[in-house]
Amino acid sequence: MSENNLEAPKEEMTVGEILRNARTTGRRKREITTLSKLLCIREEFLQALEDGNYNVIPENVYILGFARNYAMELGLDPDEIVTKLKREMGLIPDCEENEESENSGNCALPGGNAKQKLDIKKVASRCYKFVRKNWIWFASGLVIFVLLISLLVFLLPTDTEAISDNKNTVAVENVVEPEYKVAVRERFGTENSETAQVILQANQESWVKVEDARGNTVFSRVLVPGDIYYVPAEDKYKATFGNAGGVDIWVNGKLAPKQGANYVRKSGISLSAEDLMPEKNADNQ
């Protein structure tokens, strides 16, 4: 067979090409303007996804969140689109999903560094020789450690556990699980569920970002109707809502006033109980 008769291999479509193709072909051809209003995502962000110009979108979490919701609306597999997008952005290696292949040990990680095999037997042998040579020091250290632990046990007050239990009991009593307006779909921040005075629940799809007093992001996710997030109670937190009217804020089991209208982005929202329910706190005083 001559080389002229060989078919050239088809290049794999990028995420942007897949999204554009799904939007512009078939019986349901749709305009970006229409999808932007439906998804509450700016037109330039949807266009950036189709063009592969991800620098237009500020954070990776928003890129992946927008792509997931765009894919769902276009009838595509969101998990497949997000995984493919991560590979294109270099967030995961291309061969991560083929760990059982013969060449998986040579899989290139982001940054160009190759995985190196560790000779466990040599390392174990060296550790054994070192411990055997210096066994006196190890034995002495172990004895000292045991003595210190024993001393601490005798010196600590016997009612420490009771004090701790009392604190936990007070914290649990302060938490009131609201009678949500939307059936709970998925819970986030459950490590704060026993102490959280403030709970966020999406009644519409919305992007929610929560930052601590130092500006560090502690939670950032696209919430769909029914999703809830327990806000930590130890610090002053602020939030940004991509759809302010789509988020219900519950304070000690009571529904707080809305922080904005539907499809309006709102930043710098204080998540302290005092700021969210000022009238109630004034009455309590």
Give the fold, CATH level 3, of 11-89.
434 Repressor (Amino-terminal Domain) (1.10.260)
Q: What is the dihedral of CA 285, 231, 253, 206, to 10 degrees?
A: 120
Residues paired with 241 in a beta bridge: 208, 266
> What are the C-alpha distances in Å from 6 to residues 1, 3, 9, 10, 122?
8, 5, 9, 12, 51
Percent residues over pLDDT 90 in the chain? 32
- pTM across the whole model: 0.41
Token look-up 């204080």 returns: 270
Domain limits, the chain: 11-89, 120-155, 176-284
Dihedral pair phi/psi, residue 239, rounded to 5°: -130, 155
Provide the mean pLDDT of the chain: 79
Question: CB–CB of 232/189 below 8 Å?
Answer: yes
pLDDT in tens, 190-241: 998 888 889 999 999 988 999 988 888 989 999 999 999 999 987 689 999 9
85-114: average pLDDT: 57
Helices (H), 74-159: 78-89, 120-133, 135-155
Identify the residue with better confidence: 175 or 81.
81
Does residue 188 sit in helix, strand or coil? strand
Residues 12-66 pLDDT 10s:
889 989 999 989 987 778 899 989 998 999 999 999 999 989 888 988 899 999 9
